[in-house]
Chain A
Amino acid sequence: MLTIQGLNRQESEASDVPLLMDVDLHIAAGRCAVISGASGAGKTLLLRAIADLDPNQGHVTLNAKNRNQMTAQMWRKKLCYVAAEAAWWSEYAKDHFDDLTAAKEKGLIFGLSTSLFEQSISRLSAGERQRLGLARALLIDPDVLLLDEPTSALDPKSTSEIETALQAFMEQGKVIALVTHNEAQGDRLGDDFYVMDGGRLATRERPKL
């Protein structure tokens, strides 16, 4: 279970301009919190702060263990942030995976052919890259997925494959924080609903579709 209390983030070390204000969020085991809100409201910043990718203050625990008791690397392996657009550091898809066999197996679940791993990243479609990015995150076996618009570049079939994989992830008692503009997807995956506005997070009712 993921618990966040009084999370704050300022624009920079020397600035008082708040970007995230007193965010409280509690996601129980096996549940998905859906976070919506206008562009620029701070949704991505919140996911990044939970993953400790930007300086922030607040009490953040995973299964009652405080993030300060863990190295940053260990924390991020347990709470994996997946950006809306996956980034790459090497030319070929295969270079981004330590265990290529496992990667290919995971890729098959998401409808990715095994030959795709031999290709240059620049030749892959936006949808293939997005699925590969998600497979890459699942392969490190995190306890929490922090997903930023995970299916924005995908067709309905691929979206459904991803959602099935995410359901299976939660069935293991794992947790998802999902930022999405797609209300139908929020309804299919979500258990708890929040809205972000001007750096503040508030609970909301399940949207009526």
Chain B
Amino acid sequence: MSFLTLSFSDIAIAALLVAVNAGLSIALQLGIAKRLLIAAARMVVQLSLVGVVLKALFSVASPALTAFAIVFMVLFAGREAMARQDRKFKGWWSYGMGTASMMAAGTVVTVFALTTQISPDPWYDPRYAIPIMGMILGNTMNGVSIGMDRMVAGALQGRQSIEARLALGADINEATRELVKAALRAGLIPTINGMSAAGLVALPGMMTGQILAGVDPFEAVKYQILIIFLIAGGTGLGLFSAVYFARRRLTDSRHRLRLDRLRPL
């Protein structure tokens, strides 16, 4: 396997493109030059740190440190998923439900992939475990945040029709069936669209990375297909879990709609 290594000056030249963007923003008075530059700087710092951390983790290959890194990633994903919601539950519920769903879905799918398909030795080898968990989490986070957001927004919007059914003696499953279906559908659509367009509209990032790193394109494609299946599985599991958690929290044992459990705007 051979690849062309990049020097720091190569990266600095590419950064000129961001500087051009910033220049345009100033010229056109868009008022986003500062944000653009801060975001670019954050990206460089964050990824450099990740590089350092990954290098250290790979060299020790400790199960405890790998698990720690994964928990850290999940906690951040939970925060990000919550930040994307317009209306949140009171207390820790939004964060807790999103994080628990991503933790469960990400862990199940990653362990499944590591023990049955990719089979590194040891199975928890951080070189495989961390990137796979990262890719699954990144996508599951989208599904979970869209699903929960749609669930809460739908309950607020459809409150009267849900309560009309409850008032006529419907149980909460019946009264919220359409709401749950809409939230699950919304959360799964990006995954379906991503699969339909894979390779035609854009080459997936991981595959491109492997090809640039000298991997045979067909091998890279096989990996990419596997990862897309894992992502679809993880997103589905995380989404189902988050939507059902949210439904539980939005209702109670007396089959009532509990919008009072949401934070006021």
Q: Which residues of A are at the interface with B, using a C-beta cutoff of 8 A? A: 11-14, 51-55, 71-74, 76-77, 80-83, 85-89, 136-137, 140
Contact = CB atoms under 8 A, between A and B. Distances in A.
Interface in B84-123: 90
Nearest to A14: B90
Nearest to A12: B260
B165 A80 contact: no
B260 A53 contact: no
| Nearest 4 A/B pairs, CB to CB | A77-B169, A87-B160, A87-B164, A12-B260
A140 B169 contact: yes
Contacts of B127: none
Contact of B168 (A11, A12, A85, A140): A140
B198 interface: no
Q: How large is the interface on B (under 10, 10 to 19, 20 to 34, 35 or more residues)?
A: 20 to 34
B37 to A, nearest CB: 43
Contacts of A76: 166-169
Interface centre among B90, B165, B166, B169 (most CB of A within 10 A): B169
Contacts of B62: none
Given A13-B261, A72-B254, A72-B256, A53 B161 contact: no
Contacts of B261: 12-13
B163 interface: yes
B245 to A, nearest CB: 18
Interface string B169-184: 1110000001000000
Given A13-B260, A13-B261, A52-B256, A88 B167 contact: no
10 contacts: A11-B260, A12-B261, A13-B260, A52-B256, A55-B252, A74-B169, A76-B169, A80-B169, A86-B164, A87-B164
A73 to B, nearest CB: 5
A77 B255 contact: no
A107 to B, nearest CB: 16
Given A12-B260, A13-B260, A13-B261, A73 B252 contact: no
A53 B256 contact: yes
Interface of B: 90, 158, 160-171, 178, 252, 254-258, 260-261
Given A13-B260, A52-B256, A55-B252, A73 B171 contact: yes
A88 B160 CA distance: 8
Contacts of B256: 52-55, 72
Tell me if A's interface is mostly helix, strand, loop or mixed: loop
A72 B255 contact: yes
A64 B62 CA distance: 66
B167 A83 contact: yes
Contacts of B161: 87-89
Given A53-B257, A83-B163, 13 more contacts: A12-B260, A12-B261, A13-B261, A73-B169, A76-B166, A76-B167, A81-B167, A85-B160, A86-B164, A87-B160, A89-B161, A137-B168, A140-B169
A88 B165 CA distance: 8
Contacts of A11: 260
Contacts of B257: 53
A187 to B, nearest CB: 27
Contacts of A137: 167-168
A137 B169 CA distance: 10
Contacts of A51: 167
A55 B261 CA distance: 12
A73 B261 CA distance: 22
B90 A88 contact: no
Contacts of B164: 83, 86-89
Contacts of B160: 83, 85, 87
A45 to B, nearest CB: 12
Contacts of A52: 254, 256
Given A14-B90, A87-B161, A87-B163, A136 B168 contact: yes
A89 B178 contact: yes
Most chain B CB within 10 A, of A85, A88, A89, is at A89
